[in-house]
Amino acid sequence: MKQVIISVLGCFSFLFISCNAGPEPLQIGKDNCYTCKMTIMDPKFGAELITDKGKVYKFDDVICLQHFIKSGEVKQENIRQQLVINFEKENDFLAISQAGFLVSPGIKSPMGSQAAAFSTREAAEKYNSTLQGELLSWKELSGKLQ
């Protein structure tokens, strides 16, 4: 009897997993940026916004995320998560509030934000030795992006 219950529970367990909405990996060359409609091609850049209902919006550059938030299409209170792609690792999502951004004209992001995201400030500093850019938090950066 116990085994039956376990196996029945096992059968339904996928339901619980599928409810757990998280970031969806960006499919390079297939997914489009929601704001600028461009096909996402550069695995070093990108962002995602997830609503409280689990809908995922994908972006090729943080500036497109910023435009989307400003447009008010999704209300501030309905945003569950905002994520950004780690510059150093493909499809590694970082919480946008915790990421460190390096902004420099030497960074050729798809839509011209010139911003790359790193997991820590130190990682960003390592790249900055050649680029001579600015290290910013998302709060500081989003204020600058128009």
Partner 1 sequence: MKHIPTILALLLFLQTGATTIIAGPGRPVSTLRKAIELARDNDSIRLQAGIYKEGSLTISRSITLIGDNNPVLDGESKYEILLVSGKNIRIIGITFRNSGYSAMNDFASIKLVDCSNIILERNTVWHAYFAIHVSNSIQVTIRGNKITGIPASEQLTGNGIHLWKSSGALIEQNRVEGHRDGIYFEFVTGSVIRGNHSEKNIRYGLHFMFSNDDKYTNNTFRNNGAGVAVMYSKKVWMEQNHFEENWGASAYGILLKDITDSHILKNSFYKNTVGIHMEGSSRIEIDQNQFRNNGWAIKVQASCDDNIFHHNNFTSNSFDVGTNGTMVLNQFENNYWDKYEGYDMNKDGIGDIPYHPVSMYSVIIEQNPTTLMLFRSFMVSLLDKAEKAIPSLTPENLIDNKPMMKKHNL
Residue 108 binds partner 1, judged by CB under 8 A: yes
Provide, rounded to whole angstroms, the least separation between the CB of residue 115 and partner 1: 15
Number of residues interacting with partner 1: please give it, by CB under 8 A.
13
| Spatial separation of the C-alpha atoms in residues 27 and 130, rounded to whole Å | 30
- Spatial distance between the Cα atoms of 131 and 125, rounded to a whole number of angstroms: 10
Residue 62: name the closest of 89, 31, 97 by CA. Answer: 97
CB of 72 to partner 1, least distance (A): 14
What is the pattern of x (binds partner 1, CB under 8 A) and - over residues 11-30?
-----------------xx-
104 binds partner 1 (CB under 8 A): no
Nearer to partner 1, 39 or 78 (CB): 39
Least separation in angstroms between residue 9's CB and partner 1 is: 33
Residues whose CB is less than 8 angstroms from the CB of residue 18 and which lie 6 or more positions away in sequence, other chains included: none
- Compute the least distance from the CB of residue 37 to partner 1, in Å: 6
Nearest alpha carbon to residue 49 among 31, 30, 34: 34
Sheet holding 93-95, edge to edge: 56-59, 47-51, 79-85, 93-95
For the window 37-56, what string marks contact with partner 1 as x by the rule CB under 8 A? xxx-xxxx------------
By CB under 8 A, name the one of 32, 51, 104, 119 that touches partner 1. Answer: 32
Residue 39 to residues 26, 88, 98, Cα–Cα distance (Å): 11, 21, 27
Contact residues for partner 1, defined by CB under 8 A: 28-29, 32, 36-39, 41-44, 108, 112
